[in-house]
Amino acid sequence: MDLNITGRTALVTGGSKGLGFASAEILSREGAKVAIAARTEETLLKSAKKIGAVPIVSDLSDRAGVLACIDKTRDMIGNPDILVINTGGPQPATFAQTTPDGWRTATDQLFHFTIEMITAFLEPMKEKSWGRIVIITSFAAKEPVPNLLYSNALRAGIHGLVNSLASEVAEQGVTINAVMPGFIKTDRMTSMGLVLDKVAASIPAKRLGQPSELGDLVAFLCSDRATYINGQAIACDGGLLQGI
């Protein structure tokens, strides 16, 4: 299937590894000119070279770094037609373990970061009457995960943003959707200390997902084939979420 995104420009944040890299790789394969942003220069440069992407070294953990990334993106590829927002999750915590500073940090990391990126690039998309925004969240936004209180709360809020913004921009040729990865085989999954065989057994598909499977979904939502899909949160989880 031709996704008809040859020549489109795309920015993928957190694009040097994991789900961000998988999304960037498939967008590039489909003909888009892709920029990937991440903070670790060595990893970023290797990943960019591998898929022919433009590397943007940026520390996206604070507002100054986010604004610098926006400026660098405009300098290197212009205002992107496609924006894929991907960021790592906040620190694990129960509610009793949360703190005011922890909430501020997590909100900056997930919510404020997302707002800054959309604010920067939405108007140019509207002016061109074409734009695609995809936010990589988590199935935790629909089914809370124990010990991930920050992520459970804030990612659900991002879905509210997706629903609300879609109704404002759909008429102008812009779509905004969220994708909810389930248990995908990435370095982050390994670092969480989970017993992967046990996790796989809990999934109807009886296996962990591959990053490319999430990347395929992202690329489709960024294409002309997905023009009528807007304001949605779509799971890629092997059947983990049921009836939600």
CATH value at residue 62: 3.40.50.720
Q: In this structure, is residue 192 part of a structural domain? A: no
pLDDT bracket for residue 145 (50, 70, 90): confident
How confident is the model over 157-173, as a mean pLDDT? 97
Q: d(Cα 73, Cα 58) in Å, to the nearest integer?
A: 10
Residue 2 inside a domain? The answer is no
User: Mean pLDDT lowest for which of 46-50, 64-68, 86-90, 116-120?
Assistant: 86-90
In a domain, 82, yes or no: yes
Give the whole-angstrom CA distance, residue 177 versus residue 218.
9
Structure-block tokens of residue 97: 């373990």
- What is the average pLDDT value for the chain, to the nearest integer? 94
pTM for the model: 0.95
Residues 117/13, Cβ–Cβ less than 8 Å? yes
For residue 64, CA distances in Å to 39, 59, 61, 119 come to 13, 8, 9, 15
Looking at the structure of the chain, the number of domains it has is 1
Task: Flag whether 32 is in a domain.
Answer: yes
User: Considering the domain boundaries, does residue 156 fall inside one?
Assistant: yes
* pLDDT tens-digit map of 23-35: 999 999 999 999 9
Residue 57 lies in a domain: yes
Residue-level pLDDT at 89: 83
Mean pLDDT calculated for residue range 12-21: 96
